[in-house]
Amino acid sequence: MTAKPPRVFLGMISHETNSFSPIPTSLRAFENDILCRAGDGEPKRAKAWAFPGYGDLAAVVAAHGDTIIEGLAAWTQPSAPTSTAAYEALRDELLTDLAAAGSVDMVLLHLHGAMLSEGCDDCEGDIVARMRASLGPDVPIGVLLDLHGNVGPAMLEAGAIVVACKEYPHTDYRARAEELYAIVRAAAAGRMRPRTLMKRVPVLTLMGTLEQPMRGFVDDLTAREGRDGILSISMMHGFPWADTRHTGAAVLLVSDGSNPEAAERALREVGRRFFEIATGSPMGPFDMETALDKAISTARTARPVVIADGADNPGGGAACDSTFVLEALLDRGVTNVALGMLWDPQACAIAADAGVGARLDLRIGGKVGALSGAPVDVRAEVLAVREDAMQLSLTGQLTVPLGLAVAVRAAGIDIVLNSIRQQVFSMDCFTAVGVSLQDKTLIVVKSTHHFRASFDKIAAATLSADAPGTLNMNVQDLPYQALHRPIWPLDPTAEVAPLISRRGAAN
């Protein structure tokens, strides 16, 4: 007699919350991005399945031939804390979907790790704890996180098996989905009883993993897995712009329980090494003027220099309409530059109505608030107008629409404006509206690090410019209210605390 395939409940409520963002987060925000309800057909389902992380979990379950029961899948661009009404409506809908699913063998959730609502500072923990109360103690819950999460104790106290992506840019979601599913499936079959341990690391940081020393750090995480009872190690870098008592880095380790001493030793060693890298390596961005000086002096090769305006990255909650870098380039008279994307639906509409080839006075950016800078008035030539342009996502699929997008040229700078607020992931943001990149001297992207998966192949060098903005790395100036202290760099004497190992430990 053939055994029935496991029944797997799959759901997502994902939001990277910036406590200091000027962009509110409502239910309409989710509806405008991803809000796929149980029973929805195409195209909503296809849009959800194309989303990195969630789509990878779905594909892995499907590849095993197991039965997927799809619950709510909801995501929206990073922004301010979700309204209490919107968050509770989404949470309760997902819980209702789980109850309607009947008996399930396991639950898989794609959550972010840094979601806040106006009434909850640990939405992921709240969701998992309520699911555990509904499911009882025996059904395993697997959670896939973004490494830019601030993990509280509630998920671990609820017995969740937690795995996060290791790479930044986040190019390894499929591998992490496969890793998580293998552990959860084994737990559901009764072959192991995994538990997730955590060690806090008191730092506020933002570090990519493409270059040393972080490249070696990630490789070491992978090398530790599969021995001494260690099933998975995730390094949560944390998200500095979420003001909670959980904010900061943390090591998550999934153990089969066979060698607790080895698990504790790995937690200590990994946490200490991450702290050393974060506090000891000159990996931060340059101030804006220094970054421009270095970029201009470097830009004498056959390939462009790429400048990351990470402080205005909408992928972390910024408005994406700041003009500080644009103004500096105009003031310096720098030409042969591509800059994008600025979120400016009004300027897009005006340029589109004027039409390709038109020359007009155009006011660009600086609309949302003080950290957007002042609007910039330029004499612009409209180079291209498209309503169907898309860019590659982190999965490598051409699935991310730009909305109405236009390219304009002003004073030797090709500027891409669009109407759907999002960061630059790929070169499509420029090439889809006819902006050639290989022959540019400088390229400025509204992104922090994800763009590198695409742009590194053409860049002579990549520099980060810490311009004014919502994601400026001078975190010492942020008006934190809930942050647990001491923490580096606010407190230079912060240290990694000794490990206290117990279920749900948060130390």
Q: What domains are defined for the chain?
A: 7-280 (3.40.50.2300), 286-472 (no CATH)
pLDDT of 343 higher than 60 = yes
10 Å Cβ neighbour count for 477? Answer: 7
User: pLDDT at position 399, please?
Assistant: 86
Contact 7, 103 (CB under 8 A): yes
What pairs with residue 286 in β-bridges? 465
Number of C-beta neighbours around residue 300 at 10 A? 9
**Over the chain, what is the mean pLDDT?**
95
The rounded distance, in Å, linking the Cα atoms of 38 and 93 is 9
Q: Look at the block and give the residue holding tokens 């055994």.
A: 3
Query: What does the pLDDT average to over 331-358?
Result: 98
- Contact 479/321 with Cβ under 8 angstroms? no
Tokens 């060098």, residue located? 461
Of the ranges 81-95, 211-225, 268-282, which one carries the lowest mean pLDDT score?
A: 268-282
> Which residues on adjacent β-strands are paired with residue 307?
444, 463
Q: Give CA torsion, residues 422, 426, 432, 436, to 10 deg.
A: 120
CA 312, CA 464: separation in Å to the nearest integer?
12
Q: pLDDT grade, residue 504 (50/70/90)?
A: very low
Whether cis (ω within 30° of 0) applies to the bond prior to 304 is: no
**pLDDT score, position 397:** 86
Give the confidence band of 2 by pLDDT, cuts at 50, 70, 90.
Answer: low
Tens of pLDDT along 70-98? 999 999 999 999 999 999 999 999 999 99
Joined tokens for residue 353: 């109505």
Which helix (H) or strand (E) segment is 47 a member of? helix 44-49
Q: Are the CB atoms for 230 and 292 separated by under 8 Å?
A: no
pLDDT (0 to 100) of residue 146: 98
Residue 498 has which token pair?
């000794």
**What share of the chain has pLDDT > 90, as a percent?**
91
| Residue 364 vs residues 17, 92, 320, 410, 474: alpha-carbon distances, Å | 26, 41, 12, 11, 26
Tens-digit pLDDT profile for residues 456-477:
999 999 999 999 999 999 999 9
Alpha carbon of 318 to those of 23, 313, 359, 363, 425: distances in Å? 8, 5, 30, 20, 16
What is the model's pLDDT at position 283?
52
Residues 6+ apart with CB under 8 A from 466: 284, 285, 286, 287, 288, 291, 310, 311, 472, 473, 474
Closest CA to 252 of 238, 268, 232: 232
Distance CA 210, CA 218 (A): 9
- Is pLDDT at 1 greater than 80 in this prediction? no
Alpha-carbon gap, residue 272 to 76, rounded angstroms: 34
Q: 317: which 2 tokens?
A: 């909650």
- SS3 category, 253: strand
